[in-house]
Amino acid sequence: MRPHTPTLQTSAPYPSCRTQLPQVAGLEMWLDVMYAGMDVTEVGLQPQKEVNFAAALYFVVFIVIGVFLVLNLFVSAVVGKFEDLKAEDNGMNPLLTDEQKEYTESMSNVIKTRPFRKPLPPRDVQPWMGEWMYAIRIRAYRITMWDRTGRNLGTSFDMFVSCLVLVNVLVMGLGTYTRVAPGEIYAQGSQGLEDVQKSSYHDVLNTINDSFTWIFLAELILKVAAWGWAQYFIDYWNQVDFVLVALSVAGFIVENGEL
C-alpha cells in the first residue's frame, strides 16, 4: 500500500497530465505522477485516493508506446547498423584497431581450447567405506551426471534444477498483502498486522517454498555424495548454491521457532 498525503482543497486547477509527460518519459519518479493523476477527480475539487483508473492506464500506455517502443526502435537502428559494419569486417568489431582484433582473436582461441573439468566418479571401495555406501555414491553420481545427449556431463540434471529454481522464484512472486486502512492496525501492534495478512493462500505458498528448500538441500547432498567435498567446492556455482541452501535451511529453522 503506497503512502498517501492528504491534499488541501483549492480552487486552482490541478496540473494537466500532459504537462508531466517529460518527467514520465525520463522514467524518474513517474509513479508519483501516476498516483497523483489517479487521485484527480475534477478541476477545483478535493482529490480522492485512486478514483481515476483511466489516468493509470494513460501513463502505462504512454510509457509502453512513447518510451519503450521508441527507445527499442532507436536501439534497433543502431544495433542494425553496427551489425552491418561488423559483417563487412568479417565478423570483427569495426571499432577495434588491427592490434586489438589480433588480441581478441587470440584470446577467443584460448578460451575455446580451455579444458572442461568433469567431476570424477567415486573411487573404489575404501577401508572406511562399505560396499553399500559405495553403491549409493555411484547411483548419486549417475543421477547428477544425467545427460539426455549421452555425454554424461550432467547438462540435463542441471537444467532440471534450474527449472526448479525458476518455479521457486515464480512461487515467491505470488505473495500478496491485504490492504488495511491507515491507522487501523496500529492499535493492535505488529501481531495484529501479522494476523491480518494470514490466510490459507499464504500458508500454501509458504508450504511450497519450504518444500523447495528441502528439495535443494537434497540436491546439495546428492552432489556432495557423488563428487565429494573437494570436487563440489571447486565449482563457483556450487559454492553459491551451498551458501543459499544453508541460509534457507537456517531461515526455516528460525521461522519455525526451533532455535
pLDDT digits over 58-110, tens only?
888 988 888 888 878 888 888 888 888 888 877 778 888 888 888 888 888 88
Residue 115, Ramachandran bin (φ over 0: left; ψ between -120 and 50: alpha; else beta)? beta
Average pLDDT, the chain: 80
Among 170, 177, 169, CA closest to 201: 177
Domain ranges across the chain = 1-114, 131-255
pLDDT in tens, 173-189: 888 877 766 666 555 55
Q: How confident is the model at residue 125 (pLDDT cuts 50, 70, 90)?
A: low
Q: Which CATH class is domain 131-255?
A: mainly alpha
Among 37, 44, 43, CA closest to 58: 37
**Burial class for 197, CB neighbours closer than 10 Å (0-12, 13-18, 19+):** middle
How much is the pLDDT for 167?
95
How much is the pLDDT for 171?
92
How much is the pLDDT for 165?
93
User: SS3 of 195, please?
Assistant: helix
How much is the pLDDT for 65?
87
CA distances to 68, 140, 191, 226, 233 from 229, in Å: 48, 14, 43, 9, 6
Grid coordinates of 250: 537456517
Which ranges constitute the DSSP H helices of 39-148? 53-62, 70-88, 98-112, 131-144
pLDDT in tens, 24-47: 877 888 888 888 888 887 777 777
User: SS3 of 56, please?
Assistant: helix
**Angle at the Cα of 225 from the Cα atoms of 223 and 228, rounded to 5 degrees:** 85
How much is the pLDDT for 259?
45
Grid coordinates of 203: 500458508
Question: Does residue 137 contact residue 123 with C-beta atoms inside 8 Å?
Answer: no
